[in-house]
Structure 1
Amino acid sequence: MPHHLMNLRFVPDDEADEIRALLEAHEVPYYETPPSRWGISMGGFWVHDDDQAARARALLEDYQRQRFENQRRTYEERRARGETGGFWFMLSRKPLRTLAACIAILVIVGLSLLPFIRLG
């Protein structure tokens, strides 16, 4: 029976490439199904063998931990250099774009809640 190792929906191309290289480097026989264009099927990496699935999951767990640490370190370095930040950072760097996004969010929330507000 096939074992689903990892969902590919919203996975960046560089991460998928690194996972392919990892599985191939450790000679884990896998196959891949792509996610659908409209988000109906998730796609992913699969293996058939139970032992290979356990081995692949251990490799993926270690890879994900390392990737998380690298991404966190990169974010912290960019934040220390002042290249990224949260809401106030975006408001100070791109005020028009940030305010437009906030207004759009408020309009969408208002339109979504309008039927419920009119009931009362």
Structure 2
Amino acid sequence: MSQLLLNLRHVPEDEADEVRALLEGNAIAWYETEPNRWGISAGAIWIREDGQFERARALMDEYQAQRGAAARQAWAAARREGTARTFWAQLRHSPLRVLLILIGIILCAALSLWPLLLAAW
């Protein structure tokens, strides 16, 4: 029976391509389901044979560890160079946008806490 290896929701296309190539390169039988029209399912990569799932999972874990390490190194390099998108960099770049987002967060918090505040009085 097929087993889910990777849900493609919020997965960048380059990562999905690399996973497909990883499976192909290691002769693991897989197939992909497409996302549906209404956004309920984002699509996925499935392993066809149960016997290959453990090997695919081990390869996937190794790949994700390498990708995570590369992302952390890229983030550290961007911070050293001063090009990282931090809160303060966002605030300097687009203060109105940041202000509107903060106002939205405060409004959501206020609306969520309103019944609690009314009950306390």
**1:8 Cα deviation (Å)?**
1.2
How far apart, CA to CA, are the structure 2 residues paired with 1:92 and 1:80? 18
- Give the equivalent residue in structure 2 for 1:18: 18
- Give the equivalent residue in structure 2 for 1:114: 114
How far apart, CA to CA, are the structure 2 residues paired with 1:37 and 1:79? 39
- Give the equivalent residue in structure 2 for 1:67: 67
Structure 1 residue ranges (4+ consecutive) displaced by more than 3 angstroms after TM superposition: 35-39
How far apart, CA to CA, are the structure 2 residues paired with 1:30 and 1:19? 11
Q: Which amino acid aligns with 1:41?
A: S
Q: SS in structure 1 opposite 2:40?
A: coil
**When the two structures are aligned, how many residues end up with a matched partner?**
120
Q: SS in structure 2 opposite 1:32?
A: strand
1:31-73 per-position Cα deviation (integer Å, ceiling 9, x unaligned): 1113445542353111121221111111111110010011111
More divergent stretch after superposition (69-78 vs 31-40): 31-40
Q: Which runs of 5+ in 2 are unaligned?
A: none
* TM norm structure 1: 0.86
Q: Which runs of 5+ in 1 are unaligned?
A: none
- Note the aligned Cα RMSD (angstroms): 1.9
**1:88 Cα deviation (Å)?**
2.7
- Give the equivalent residue in structure 2 for 1:87: 87
Note closer, same or farther for the CA distance 1:94–1:8 as it changes in structure 2 (3 Å cut): same
1:3-50 per-position Cα deviation (integer Å, ceiling 9, x unaligned): 111111111111111111111111111011134455423531111212
Identity of aligned residues (%): 46
